[in-house]
Structure 1
Amino acid sequence: MDTTLRDGEQTSGVSFSEGEKLSVAKVLLEDVKVDRIEIASARVSEGEFKGTKRVMQWAAEKGHLHQIEVLGFVDDKTSLQWIADAGGKVINLLCKGSLKHVSEQLRKTPEQHLADIKKVISNAAEMGIRVNIYLEDWSNGMRSSKDYVHFMIKNLKDEKVDRMMLPDTLGILDPDETYDFCSEMIEAFPEVNFDFHAHNDYDLAIANVFHAIKAGIRCVHTTVNGLGERAGNAPLSSVIATVKDHLKMKTNVNETHLNKVSRLVESFSGIRIPTNKPLIGEFVFTQCSGIHADGDNKNNLYFNELLPERFGRIRQYALGKTSGKANIKKNLEDLGIELDADSLKKVTQRIIELGDKKETVTNDDLPYIVSDVLNNDIMEQKIRVVNFSVMHTMGLRPVANVSLEIEGKKYEEFCDGDGQYDAFVKALRKIYKRLGKSFPKLIDYVVTIPPGGKTDALVETVITWKNSREFKTKGLDPDQNAAAIKATIRMLNIIENDFKPGILDKILNSIS
């Protein structure tokens, strides 16, 4: 069960709009094919209600209503009515899983709390709403008040409850405790369907999920990218890979769409995926060492079961100071460039020098480096900025005036925008529209400023573009807008030179 749209939305600073909730729900259920999703908490806000209702309307049309769940509270009919009005059919009822929570937060006895829960279950049955129960703080309950946990499950197991959900609410468990506690639940109540809900406060969420499943749990909760309260929940992608590769068990999940949903949630949440995050990070299928690239050329010596193609990714070979000739040769081959041994040695040395200076080198930088090192005109500057002016006056929209020279001819345009760089790009688009040229889509924009807070520090702007392929360009300048503009002009020249496999090797015949 994926709870990105409920527990994941409890990440600090994250709030999904109606449309975003619907988009993520669609991808999770129809592309990734998770079994269930939890999409909201009842009574939170009017916006939460509208988003829930929109998802429920879509789900009713597509036959997914039974797979969509909403967190509700022990409040007689209030949460149930909220869910019913939104079109929902399943409540995940938040009950207390530790004696401390019952006595100190609710200030009730276990018997009183149990009676309140049974009343909600009865109301739900009358309203045609199925019930799952969250035993909030269950992990602390198992540590300090096991008798209470057993009392609650014993008295609820014969009620109209589909699933008992066992959350490690504060992320306190270790793998051994998880295994022991889950085993105890299954042995004591073999007829109950249990879920396990891990939190990642000690970075043990995946290990705990692994041991919960080993203990016999057959449903676990996840979030896309590991979003969630505090340190987050168990990441969907890591859980799926662990279940398949280490536990040798099957799920309904389509692995090839995991990267797609991760990027979608990254965009909507505003929470960037760490570059080294397993399975979904930008660098996890990137080999940096030249030795690794050489080994991969010799019967894939550095491959494991986590083949990137499984997750809709591709293997890459990074360019930097640890790059050997094998790394660089693979990247050149991707661009259709063939170099003789001496030329390859020179290009390799230049990339190592750039890496020593902590400069980022991308695959799309290679034509520039080859051109510079080998003194040839492979990277013809067909487009250059004659001049530009970007201005922002308080209270007025930013404006840009841009003059370009394209193959010897000058073109000028003026445009306003939502920001100075936006105004600059819109002016470029106007020029390209006049010329009947296509302009790629900007899909990511990353600014890196060295720590220390100096106002004259160099800014590196890396922009990801997409036309027939996806590629990155970067610009370096003390001014952020100027850095972005440099990256943009480099992008235009890459497109104008039309770097495609099979083209550059012809250009470089004279070299080799």
Structure 2
Amino acid sequence: MLNRKNTFSEPVRIFDTTLRDGEQTPGVSLTPDQKLEIATHLSEIGVHVIEAGSAAASAGERQSIKLISDAGLSAECCTYVRALAQDIDFAADFGADSVHLVVPVSDLHIEKKLRKTREQVSAMAWSAVEYAKDRGLIVELSGEDASRADRAFLQELFREGIDRGADRLCFCDTVGLLTPERAAELIPPLCMAPLSIHCHDDLGFALASTMAALKAGATCAHVTVNGLGERAGNTALEELVMSLEVLYGHATGIRTEDLYHLSTVVSRLTGVALATNKPIVGEMAFTHESGIHAHGVMRDASTYESIIPERVGRKRRIVLGKHSGSAAVETALHEMGYRPDAGQLAEIVQRIKQLGDTGKRITDADVMTIADAVLAIEFAPALELMQFTIVSGSNAMPTASVTLTVKGEEITCAATGNGPVDAAIRALQRSVSDVGTVRLEQYHVDAISGGTDALVDVTVKLSKDGVSVTSRGARTDIITASVEAVIAGMNRLLREEKHEDRSENSH
């Protein structure tokens, strides 16, 4: 692990704007209860400030601010406001601790968006600072589009803002034009009070520019979980925290072991799926297939991993495919309880490679099916589907009814969901609740061919009692494919002999 000398002048504060800037991701809309759930997680992991929303945006936003401010969280509750008395009144009346007071500072924004002059914007900003202080609020005065602002004007606006009572300042790189080199030049003269850096990732520089600004004297970073935000998003909370911790040896105070759980909660509630190759929290961040890489990781994880996955609440995965070697396959089989001899292992490896050559994603259920066949193990399914019915439409809550035989007993369950697939999976989970709690960890679907009759390939990751398994279903109907995938995975999780060694003598 790299552990460079700490180059930061003081502890870095984390200002999370998932509930404001993150919610401005196109298509994302959170209810007040969902915002409270996310805010609670943010506070519990150690985030210092939570921007709960925009006070003037809607009644629902104000309700969210009130819920979060009344929740007794350790994090400061902040809200975005314009330089308007009504916005500030909303913030104070609904319990916010602080305001993120944003004013345009580039001539482009001042003239084209506001159609005002620099003098008018300055007067509005300073007046708003004084009014917010009179209302008892902590004020973070923020320059929008600061990367394109006249330096002298920005410094004057900030300096007078502090004289009028502003507690903190913020440099907003609104469209992602800041570079690390420019950050090193622009930030130091603005550190006349605690300064935040707020970067967008339009050109992929958000994290780098944020780090450069912090090294140049900024003391707070604005971030979002999973890098959510308008257009290409904002600096990602998990990436910033782990970069500070790992690359610079800077203790953030964030409970890093909870980062992945927070990431999955936000992904679920916002409906924004994580890119598979996303750093820290993406599906493939700690997944290895290549024979050389997998072999190296099994001998010493640091050969191909910069951090151990448990540090961010994850586990290492060795997935099998056409690139896998015997060592990786044998390790995976041992984890599944199989103990093949050398000849059987060679046959299993060959069959896995043949399946991989067809272009298919190989799941745990595939590997177990191959191993069962080679080792001649008879596998009696723990559950079998008898029938399922889905009701869904423009005026109907999606509802699913399923009938299964679970270890010989016929069980019928029904459930509603956000859609027909969600309803079907919930019904299946209820059906097996008496024998165990099966959780859906991941869901992925691919259309294998074009057209309305396309074959869809659904892959799911299920877990029970700390054991996880991936499985697949492929049909022309996405609901049927999903049900097939979930039942295949449940059967593997619920098989009675899953904790016993399975070899050619196990049947």
**Shared fold per TM-score greater than 0.5:** yes
* Aligned CA distance change for structure 1 residues 46 and 280 (closer, same or farther; 3 Å): same
- Paired position in structure 1 for 2:471: 473
1:437-481 C-alpha deviation (Å, 9 max, x unpaired): 44624454332213x532333211223333313433221122223
Secondary structure class of the residue paired with 2:163 = coil
Asked if the contact 1:18/1:50 (under 8 Å) is kept, the reply is yes
Asked if the contact 2:365/2:489 (under 8 Å) is kept, the reply is no
Alignment of 1:223-262 (within 5 A): 223-262=224-263
Displacement of 1:147 in angstroms is: 2.4
* Aligned CA distance change for structure 1 residues 324 and 439 (closer, same or farther; 3 Å): same
Q: Say which of 136, 141, 150 aligns to 1:128.
A: 136
1:62-93 C-alpha deviation (Å, 9 max, x unpaired): 454xx121111111x21111011111121111
Q: Say which of 33, 38, 41 aligns to 1:24.
A: 38
Asked if the contact 1:475/1:484 (under 8 Å) is kept, the reply is yes
- Paired position in structure 1 for 2:66: 53
- Paired position in structure 1 for 2:23: 9
Secondary structure class of the residue paired with 1:453 = coil
* Aligned CA distance change for structure 1 residues 432 and 363 (closer, same or farther; 3 Å): closer
| Pair 1:79 & 2:87 matched | yes
Query: 1 CA distance for matches of 2:87 and 2:399?
Result: 50
Alignment of 1:51-200 (within 5 A): 51-58=64-71, 61-62=72-73, 64=75, 67-75=76-84, 77-141=85-149, 145-186=150-191, 191-200=192-201
Q: Partner letter of residue 472 of structure 1? A: T
Q: Partner letter of residue 129 of structure 1? A: L
Runs of 4+ aligned structure 1 residues displaced above 4 Å come to 391-407, 412-433
Query: 2 CA distance for matches of 1:228 and 1:131?
Result: 23
Q: Partner letter of residue 327 of structure 1? A: A
Displacement of 1:399 in angstroms is: 7.6
Secondary structure class of the residue paired with 1:115 = helix
Displacement of 1:103 in angstroms is: 3.3
Q: What's the TM-score, normalizing by structure 2?
A: 0.89
Query: 2 CA distance for matches of 1:429 and 1:117?
Result: 54
Query: 1 CA distance for matches of 2:426 and 2:50?
Result: 40
Displacement of 1:184 in angstroms is: 4.0
- Paired position in structure 2 for 1:354: 355
1:309-329 C-alpha deviation (Å, 9 max, x unpaired): 110111111111111112112
Asked if the contact 1:226/1:234 (under 8 Å) is kept, the reply is yes
* Aligned CA distance change for structure 1 residues 462 and 489 (closer, same or farther; 3 Å): same
Tell which structure's C-alpha radius of gyration is larger.
1
Asked if the contact 1:38/1:70 (under 8 Å) is kept, the reply is yes
Displacement of 1:14 in angstroms is: 0.7
* Aligned CA distance change for structure 1 residues 311 and 391 (closer, same or farther; 3 Å): closer
C-alpha RMSD of the superposition: 2.7
* Aligned CA distance change for structure 1 residues 425 and 289 (closer, same or farther; 3 Å): closer
Secondary structure class of the residue paired with 1:68 = strand
Deviates more, 1:256-265 or 1:302-311: 302-311
Indicate the percent of aligned positions where both proteins have the same amino acid.
31
Secondary structure class of the residue paired with 2:220 = coil
* Aligned CA distance change for structure 1 residues 349 and 212 (closer, same or farther; 3 Å): same
Unaligned runs of 5+ in 1: none
Q: What's the TM-score, normalizing by structure 1?
A: 0.88
Asked if the contact 2:352/2:367 (under 8 Å) is kept, the reply is no
Secondary structure class of the residue paired with 2:250 = coil
* Aligned CA distance change for structure 1 residues 404 and 279 (closer, same or farther; 3 Å): closer
Alignment of 1:282-321 (within 5 A): 282-300=283-301, 302-321=303-322
Query: 2 CA distance for matches of 1:256 and 1:226?
Result: 18
1:34-83 C-alpha deviation (Å, 9 max, x unpaired): 1112111121011111111111111xx3454xx121111111x2111101
* Aligned CA distance change for structure 1 residues 243 and 103 (closer, same or farther; 3 Å): same
Unaligned runs of 5+ in 2: 1-14
Length, aligned pairs only = 490
| Pair 1:462 & 2:462 matched | no
